[in-house]
Structure 1
Amino acid sequence: MSKPYNVMSDVAHLLDLYWDDPVAFGEDMLGFEADDWQQAAMMDVAHHPRTSVRSGQGVGKTGFEAVLVIWFLCCRPNARVVCTAPTKQQLNDVLWAEVAKWLEASMVKNLLKWTKTKVYMIGHEERWFATARTATKPENMQGFHEDHMLFVVDEASGVADPIMEAIQGTLSGEDNKLLMCGNPTRTSGVFYDSHNRDRSRYRTHKVDSRDSKRTSKENVQMLIDKYGAESDVVRVRVYGEFPKAEADSFIALELVELVAGGSIASVGDTLHLGVDVARFGDDETVIAPRIGMKVFKLKCYNKQDTMVTAGWVIATGRKMLRRFPQLGKVEIKVDDSGVGGGVTDRLEEVIREERLKGWQVIPINNGSKPTRNEEEHYDNRGTETWADLRDILQECFSGHMQGRPVEVELPDDERLITQLTQRKYRMTSKGKIALERKEDMKKRGLDSPDRADAVVLAFATGKKSGVYFPNEK
Structure 2
Amino acid sequence: MSKPYNVVADLISLLDIYWDDPVAFAEDMLGFDPDDWQREAMADVAAYPRVSIRSGQGVGKTAFEAALVIWFLCCRPNPKVICTAPTRQQLHDVLWAEIAKWLESSMVKNLLKWTKTKIYMIGHEERWFATARTATKPENMQGFHEDYMLFIVDEASGVADPIMEAILGTLSGDENKLLMCGNPTRTSGVFYDSHNRDRSRFRTHKVDSRNSKRTSKENIQMLIDKYGAESDVVRVRVYGEFPKAEADAFIALELAELAAGATAEPTGDTLHLGVDVARFGDDETVIAPRIGMKVFPLRCYNKQDTMVTAGWCVKTAKDFLRECPSLQQVRIKVDDTGVGGGVVDRLNEIIQEEGLTNWEVIPVNNGARPSRDGEEHYDNLGTECWAMLRNLLQENFSGHLQGGPNEIELPNDERLITQLTQRKYRMTSRGKIALERKEDMKKRGLDSPDRADAVVLAFAEVKKSFIFLDAGTASRGL
Same fold (TM over 0.5): yes
- The letter of the residue matching 1:387 is A
8 Å contact kept, 1:20–1:47: yes
8 Å contact kept, 1:399–1:406: no
- The letter of the residue matching 2:429 is S
8 Å contact kept, 1:272–1:330: yes
- The letter of the residue matching 2:240 is G
Q: What's 1:281 paired with?
A: 281
Q: What's 1:238 paired with?
A: 238
8 Å contact kept, 2:262–2:407: no
Q: What's 2:64 paired with?
A: 64
Establish whether residue 169 from structure 1 lines up as the match of residue 169 from structure 2. Answer: yes
**For the residues of structure 2 that align with 1:4 and 1:424, how far apart are their CA atoms?**
62
Secondary structure of 1:172's aligned partner: coil
Number of residue-to-residue matches in the alignment: 465
Structure 1: gaps spanning 5 or more residues: 466-473
Q: How does 1:216-365 map to 2 (within 5 A)?
A: 216-365=216-365
**For the residues of structure 1 that align with 2:46 and 2:357, how far apart are their CA atoms?**
51
**For the residues of structure 2 that align with 1:226 and 1:19, how far apart are their CA atoms?**
46
Q: What's 1:147 paired with?
A: 147
**For the residues of structure 1 that align with 2:72 and 2:241, how far apart are their CA atoms?**
29
Q: How does 1:172-187 map to 2 (within 5 A)?
A: 172-187=172-187
How far does residue 373 in structure 1 lie from its aligned partner after superposition?
2.1
Secondary structure of 1:356's aligned partner: coil
Q: What's 1:51 paired with?
A: 51
**For the residues of structure 1 that align with 2:172 and 2:45, how far apart are their CA atoms?**
16
Q: What's 1:87 paired with?
A: 87
Secondary structure of 1:89's aligned partner: helix
8 Å contact kept, 1:424–1:435: yes
8 Å contact kept, 2:119–2:129: yes
Moved more, 179-188 or 402-411: 402-411
Establish whether residue 422 from structure 1 lines up as the match of residue 416 from structure 2. Answer: no
Q: What's 2:459 paired with?
A: 459
- The letter of the residue matching 1:453 is D
Q: What's 2:469 paired with?
A: none
Q: What's 1:468 paired with?
A: none
**For the residues of structure 2 that align with 1:208 and 1:268, how far apart are their CA atoms?**
35
How far does residue 263 in structure 1 lie from its aligned partner after superposition?
2.5
**For the residues of structure 2 that align with 1:374 and 1:37, how far apart are their CA atoms?**
43
CA displacement, residues 206-235 of structure 1 (integer Å, 9 cap, x when unaligned): 011111111111100100000001111001
Secondary structure of 2:37's aligned partner: helix
- The letter of the residue matching 2:136 is T
How far does residue 31 in structure 1 lie from its aligned partner after superposition?
1.1
% identical aligned pairs = 81
**For the residues of structure 1 that align with 2:124 and 2:178, how far apart are their CA atoms?**
23
Q: What's 1:377 paired with?
A: 377
Establish whether residue 27 from structure 1 lines up as the match of residue 27 from structure 2. Answer: yes
CA displacement, residues 173-203 of structure 1 (integer Å, 9 cap, x when unaligned): 1100000000000011000000011000000
Q: What's 1:449 paired with?
A: 449
Q: How does 1:180-195 map to 2 (within 5 A)?
A: 180-195=180-195
**For the residues of structure 2 that align with 1:3 and 1:158, how far apart are their CA atoms?**
44
8 Å contact kept, 2:333–2:458: yes
**For the residues of structure 2 that align with 1:464 and 1:431, how far apart are their CA atoms?**
26
8 Å contact kept, 1:363–1:464: no
8 Å contact kept, 1:361–1:464: no
Secondary structure of 1:178's aligned partner: strand
- The letter of the residue matching 1:227 is Y
- The letter of the residue matching 1:318 is K
8 Å contact kept, 1:4–1:111: no
CA displacement, residues 47-74 of structure 1 (integer Å, 9 cap, x when unaligned): 0000000000001100110000000000
How far does residue 259 in structure 1 lie from its aligned partner after superposition?
1.1
CA displacement, residues 375-432 of structure 1 (integer Å, 9 cap, x when unaligned): 6410000000000100111112202133212111111111111110000001111110
Q: 1:215 to 1:327 in 2, by over 3 A?
A: same
- The letter of the residue matching 1:52 is S
Q: What's 2:200 paired with?
A: 200
Q: How does 1:395-410 map to 2 (within 5 A)?
A: 395-410=395-410
Moved more, 60-69 or 372-381: 372-381
**For the residues of structure 2 that align with 1:396 and 1:123, how far apart are their CA atoms?**
60
CA displacement, residues 66-89 of structure 1 (integer Å, 9 cap, x when unaligned): 000000000000011000000011
Establish whether residue 112 from structure 1 lines up as the match of residue 112 from structure 2. Answer: yes
Secondary structure of 1:461's aligned partner: strand
Q: What's 2:160 paired with?
A: 160
**For the residues of structure 1 that align with 2:406 and 2:376, how far apart are their CA atoms?**
27
How far does residue 326 in structure 1 lie from its aligned partner after superposition?
1.3
**For the residues of structure 1 that align with 2:343 and 2:284, how far apart are their CA atoms?**
14
**For the residues of structure 2 that align with 1:366 and 1:49, how far apart are their CA atoms?**
39
Secondary structure of 2:361's aligned partner: strand
CA displacement, residues 242-285 of structure 1 (integer Å, 9 cap, x when unaligned): 11111000001111011114322111111110000000111100
How far does residue 5 in structure 1 lie from its aligned partner after superposition?
5.6
Secondary structure of 2:341's aligned partner: helix
Structure 2: gaps spanning 5 or more residues: 466-478
Moved more, 432-441 or 4-13: 4-13
How far does residue 343 in structure 1 lie from its aligned partner after superposition?
0.4
Please give the TM-score of this superposition, normalised by the length of structure 2: 0.96
Moved more, 356-365 or 69-78: 356-365
